[in-house]
Amino acid sequence: MSEACTLKQCGSKTYYCNVELTLQVIGGKWKPIIIYRLGNDGTLRFSEIKRAIPNITQKMLTQQLRELEADGVVLRTVFPQVPPRVDYGLTELGASVMPVIEALCGWGKAYEAWAGAREAEARIRETA
Protein backbone atom coordinates (compact mmCIF):
# COMPACT_ATOMS: atom_id res chain seq x y z
CA MET A 1 0.00 0.00 0.00
CA SER A 2 1.30 3.46 -0.86
CA GLU A 3 1.99 6.11 1.73
CA ALA A 4 -0.68 8.61 2.71
CA CYS A 5 -0.47 11.84 0.77
CA THR A 6 0.53 14.98 2.64
CA LEU A 7 -0.61 18.49 1.83
CA LYS A 8 1.71 20.18 -0.68
CA GLN A 9 1.89 23.52 -2.44
CA CYS A 10 3.02 24.18 -6.02
CA GLY A 11 2.63 27.82 -6.91
CA SER A 12 -1.01 28.67 -6.26
CA LYS A 13 -2.09 25.02 -6.34
CA THR A 14 -2.67 23.07 -3.15
CA TYR A 15 -2.82 19.30 -3.46
CA TYR A 16 -2.26 16.04 -1.62
CA CYS A 17 -0.85 13.84 -4.36
CA ASN A 18 0.62 14.30 -7.82
CA VAL A 19 -2.48 12.91 -9.54
CA GLU A 20 -4.50 15.71 -7.97
CA LEU A 21 -1.93 18.29 -9.13
CA THR A 22 -1.94 16.86 -12.64
CA LEU A 23 -5.73 17.05 -12.82
CA GLN A 24 -5.65 20.64 -11.58
CA VAL A 25 -3.36 21.54 -14.49
CA ILE A 26 -4.75 19.43 -17.38
CA GLY A 27 -8.05 18.10 -16.06
CA GLY A 28 -11.62 19.17 -16.66
CA LYS A 29 -14.02 18.98 -19.54
CA TRP A 30 -12.14 21.19 -22.00
CA LYS A 31 -8.41 21.31 -21.23
CA PRO A 32 -7.59 17.79 -22.49
CA ILE A 33 -9.49 18.50 -25.72
CA ILE A 34 -7.67 21.80 -26.22
CA ILE A 35 -4.31 20.11 -25.59
CA TYR A 36 -5.27 17.30 -27.97
CA ARG A 37 -6.18 19.74 -30.75
CA LEU A 38 -3.00 21.80 -30.33
CA GLY A 39 -0.88 18.65 -30.07
CA ASN A 40 -2.30 17.16 -33.27
CA ASP A 41 -2.99 20.27 -35.33
CA GLY A 42 -0.03 22.40 -34.21
CA THR A 43 -0.21 26.13 -33.63
CA LEU A 44 -3.74 27.48 -34.07
CA ARG A 45 -5.52 30.80 -33.87
CA PHE A 46 -8.38 31.26 -31.42
CA SER A 47 -11.03 30.93 -34.13
CA GLU A 48 -9.45 27.70 -35.40
CA ILE A 49 -9.54 26.17 -31.92
CA LYS A 50 -13.15 27.31 -31.52
CA ARG A 51 -14.05 25.76 -34.88
CA ALA A 52 -12.35 22.48 -33.89
CA ILE A 53 -14.32 22.38 -30.60
CA PRO A 54 -17.75 23.72 -31.65
CA ASN A 55 -19.57 23.04 -28.37
CA ILE A 56 -17.25 25.17 -26.20
CA THR A 57 -18.30 28.76 -25.60
CA GLN A 58 -15.99 31.62 -26.46
CA LYS A 59 -15.86 32.64 -22.80
CA MET A 60 -14.93 29.12 -21.64
CA LEU A 61 -12.29 28.71 -24.37
CA THR A 62 -10.72 32.03 -23.36
CA GLN A 63 -10.71 31.02 -19.69
CA GLN A 64 -9.23 27.58 -20.33
CA LEU A 65 -6.53 28.94 -22.65
CA ARG A 66 -5.57 31.54 -20.02
CA GLU A 67 -5.29 28.85 -17.33
CA LEU A 68 -3.22 26.59 -19.59
CA GLU A 69 -0.98 29.54 -20.45
CA ALA A 70 -0.57 30.46 -16.75
CA ASP A 71 0.40 26.85 -15.99
CA GLY A 72 3.01 26.81 -18.76
CA VAL A 73 1.20 24.29 -20.97
CA VAL A 74 0.19 26.66 -23.79
CA LEU A 75 2.19 29.46 -25.39
CA ARG A 76 0.23 32.49 -26.53
CA THR A 77 1.95 34.56 -29.22
CA VAL A 78 0.58 38.00 -30.08
CA PHE A 79 1.57 39.51 -33.42
CA PRO A 80 1.53 43.34 -33.53
CA GLN A 81 -0.58 43.85 -36.62
CA VAL A 82 -4.02 45.09 -37.58
CA PRO A 83 -6.24 43.21 -37.09
CA PRO A 84 -4.52 41.60 -34.11
CA ARG A 85 -3.34 38.04 -34.59
CA VAL A 86 -2.87 35.65 -31.68
CA ASP A 87 -1.55 32.10 -32.05
CA TYR A 88 -1.71 29.30 -29.49
CA GLY A 89 0.59 26.33 -29.37
CA LEU A 90 1.89 23.80 -26.89
CA THR A 91 5.03 24.56 -24.94
CA GLU A 92 7.63 21.85 -24.38
CA LEU A 93 5.83 21.10 -21.11
CA GLY A 94 2.51 20.92 -22.95
CA ALA A 95 3.93 18.60 -25.58
CA SER A 96 5.23 16.33 -22.82
CA VAL A 97 1.65 15.55 -21.76
CA MET A 98 0.60 14.37 -25.24
CA PRO A 99 1.34 10.67 -24.50
CA VAL A 100 -1.10 10.93 -21.58
CA ILE A 101 -3.74 12.59 -23.78
CA GLU A 102 -3.21 9.96 -26.49
CA ALA A 103 -3.58 7.20 -23.88
CA LEU A 104 -6.88 8.78 -22.78
CA CYS A 105 -8.00 8.85 -26.41
CA GLY A 106 -7.10 5.17 -26.81
CA TRP A 107 -8.97 4.29 -23.63
CA GLY A 108 -12.01 6.19 -24.93
CA LYS A 109 -11.96 4.21 -28.17
CA ALA A 110 -11.72 0.94 -26.24
CA TYR A 111 -14.59 2.02 -23.98
CA GLU A 112 -16.67 2.98 -27.01
CA ALA A 113 -16.18 -0.53 -28.44
CA TRP A 114 -16.96 -2.16 -25.08
CA ALA A 115 -20.11 -0.09 -24.58
CA GLY A 116 -21.25 -0.76 -28.15
CA ALA A 117 -20.83 -4.51 -27.67
CA ARG A 118 -22.71 -4.32 -24.38
CA GLU A 119 -25.60 -2.44 -25.99
CA ALA A 120 -25.71 -4.94 -28.87
CA GLU A 121 -25.87 -7.83 -26.38
CA ALA A 122 -28.72 -6.09 -24.54
CA ARG A 123 -30.68 -5.64 -27.78
CA ILE A 124 -30.20 -9.31 -28.62
CA ARG A 125 -31.51 -10.34 -25.18
CA GLU A 126 -34.53 -8.05 -25.60
CA THR A 127 -35.52 -9.62 -28.91
CA ALA A 128 -34.95 -13.20 -27.74
Residues 6+ apart with CB under 8 A from 66: none
Q: Which amino acid is at 63?
A: Q
Instruction: Set out the domains of the chain in order of their start, with CATH numbers.
Output: 29-127 (1.10.10.10)
Give residue 2's pLDDT: 66
Residue 110's φ and ψ, nearest 5 degrees, are -65, -40
Summarised one tens digit per residue, pLDDT across range 38-57 is: 999 999 999 999 999 999 99
Give residue 49's pLDDT: 98
Summarised one tens digit per residue, pLDDT across range 8-23 is: 998 888 888 888 989 9
